[in-house]
Structure formats: structure tokens, C-alpha cells
Amino acid sequence: MDPLLALGGVLALVAAATLLGLAWRARQDRYTTVVEAPALTPADLASTVSFGADATLVQFSTEHCARCPGTRTMLANVARSRPGVVHIEVDLTHRADLARRFQVLQTPTTLILDRSGRVRERVGGAPHRAGIIAHLDTLPGSLHANLPH
Amino acid sequence: MPTSPTDPGGAGASAGAPRPRRADLDPRGPRFGAGITAVLLLVVVFLSLIGASAAALSLLAGLAVLFAWGAFAGAGRHPWGLLFKRFVRPRLAPPTALENPAPPTFAQGVGLLVTLVGVVLGLAGLAPAVGIAAAAAFIAAFLNAVFDYCLGCQLFLLLVRAGLLGRGPRDAR
């Protein structure tokens, strides 16, 4: 092949990879509102930790996940700073059934459960703290503003 | 190219010290290495397109050896990683967080598999396979270097879901 043409092919490959990357990035930290989800219990998540009185942050991880530890630190921090909010991390490495049941296609994936254990929001990719806080604030019956101390 | 210090509110800045693990990596190391690998893979694609099949095959074989190094010795001991530690990291601010070396090591194994298929098919006389394998590996390395995309993490999850990795209860739905 003519070297110039080959160079064009190489540039096209770089362009295609860039488009792929942009498409992937656009889907990160994107919230999906879940309607009419059934109420979950900790047993559904193979968790021994009780759900939060106000909300529960369920984080799906695997052992091979670069961003899960950072997300764990952030979500645990949010849970510590807000009474009534609990963070639960579910390792899917040995629980393929949970990965399929909750249709987890990337890690981390985080579910925000309300006080009754229903999934209200779902976010794929590493979320930002501000987004999590904002969605916790919009949960029905959020007592965050006037909690007794 | 660090993407890190964007988290507002400084999660874990005060008391929340992350538990330290021994062989954790500066996440910028594997990305730096992926950048070098991506450029070399692009050279393979170019060589393959202009018909320099022998040169393309040799370079891809060399890259396969490097992937094998990373996959078996761990991402932290990869030659590009050593280059990063020696020449790049001293010029950067300390990392805001360290990362588990398992995902990049797994990704090196995936790179090894893809490049090895290209090398074997190339040796068998199927010259275009060299360029195709290099292009596939390039996309993964490029996404890793530029967008911080972790192909190893993604494939690991999909393999777990397919029941090929990890061990789950047999009563899985």
C-alpha cells in the first residue's frame, strides 16, 4: 500500500478509537431513575449489613476493578457523614448470579435504595460525590435537612 | 495527564485514610506504559499496511514479549513501569490515590492473548492478521492511556457474568 494511504488508515484508526473513548466517557457517571422496583432486603445482596434507615448505597465491585476502591472510599465517606445512610459493597467476583440479576455491565455500578429498600437510582462508572449527595437529597422523605443531633 | 484531583469536597482527606496494600501502583504508571505500547502498536499497523510484513511481525512479537512480562511479573514490574518510576514520576506530584495492580496485570494478559494470536497467524503466513491484531490491541491501549478506560476490568466482569471466572453458587439464575 502507498505509505500516504497507510498513514491515512492509521489516522482513521486513531479517530475511531477516539470516538469510542468519547462515547464511553459520555456514559460514565450517568444516573438512571428506576421506577417501580421491588423492595430488596440485605439477603438479596448476600449482605449481612442492615439497610440504612433513610437510604442505602449499594456498590457492585469485582476484584479486578481499578476505580472501585476510590468509589468505596467516597461512598463510605458519604455514608459516615449522613446519619441514616449505609454503604454496602457487593463483590461480584464470586456472585455471577447477582451480576446477572442486577444486569451489571460495568464496575463500579452503584444503586441508591430508598428507606424501603427500593432501587431509586442507578449509576454506572465512578460517580462523583456531589451527584450522590444531590440524589440522596431528592429521595422522598429525606430527613437530612432537619435531623436531630 | 492525571485526571485525579477533581473530586470536590476532598473525600477521605481528613481521617479517612485508605487502608494501604503492599504492591499498590501509581495509576499513572500503567497509563504511561499503555501510551508507549499504543504508539508502537500503531507503528505495527503502519508497517503492516505498507507491506513490510517481516518488520511488522517482529515488532508485534516484541510487544507480545512485553505483554507477557507484564502479565507474569505483574504490571508493577513492566519495563515501561520502571521507566515511569525512574524518569516520569519524580517530575509529577505524588498520586492522590494508589490502585490495585490486579486489573492492569489482567489487561496485560489480554494484550498478550491478542498479540500472540496475531504473531502465530503471521508466522503461519496470514500477514493481514498481524495488522488486525495490532489494531485491536491499539484500541485497548489507546483507550487506557487517553481515557483511563480499564479493558481488563470490563472483560473480567463479563467473564464472571459468563461463568468463566470466579466461582458462584450453582443455583445461579
In a domain, A113, yes or no: yes
Q: Which residues of B touch A67 (CB under 8 A)?
A: 150, 153
In a domain, A55, yes or no: yes
Residue A60 · residue A108 · CB < 8 Å = yes
Residue B53 · residue B130 · CB < 8 Å = yes
Torsion angles phi and psi, residue B161, rounded to 5: -60, -35
What pLDDT, on a 0 to 100 scale, did the predictor assign at position A143? Answer: 55
Per residue in A17-61, pLDDT (tens digit) is: 999 999 999 989 999 998 888 889 999 898 888 999 999 999 999
**Of residues B6 and A103, which shows the higher confidence score?**
A103
Q: Which residues of A touch B138 (CB under 8 A)?
A: 13, 17
Residue A88 · residue A58 · CB < 8 Å = yes
In a domain, A37, yes or no: yes
Query: Look-up: residue for cell 500516504?
Result: A4
Q: Which of B6, B17, B29 is nearest to A127 (CA)?
A: B6
ipTM: 0.83
Domain that holds residue A39: 31-146
In a domain, A77, yes or no: yes
Question: How is residue B32 written as a grid cell?
Answer: 504511561
- pLDDT confidence tier of residue B167, bands split at 50, 70 and 90: low
- What CATH number did the domain enclosing A46 receive? 3.40.30.10
What pLDDT, on a 0 to 100 scale, did the predictor assign at position B75? Answer: 81
| Structural domains of chain A, count | 1
Cβ of A130 within 8 Å of Cβ of B49? The answer is no
Question: In A, residues 66-85, which contact B (CB 8 Å cutoff)?
Answer: 66-67, 69-70, 73-74, 76-78, 80
Rounded distance between C-alpha atoms, residue B114 and residue B119, angstroms: 9
Q: Which residues of A touch B99 (CB under 8 A)?
A: 66, 69
In a domain, A128, yes or no: yes
In a domain, A20, yes or no: no
Question: How is residue B97 written as a grid cell?
Answer: 490515590
Per residue in B24-49, pLDDT (tens digit) is: 788 888 889 999 999 999 999 999 99
Cβ of B9 within 8 Å of Cβ of A129? The answer is yes
Rounded to the nearest angstrom, the minimum Cα separation between B22 and chain A is 15
- pLDDT confidence tier of residue B10, bands split at 50, 70 and 90: very low
Q: Is the CB of residue A8 less than 8 Å away from at least one CB of chain B?
A: no
Torsion angles phi and psi, residue A112, rounded to 5: -105, 115
A74-78 average pLDDT score: 95
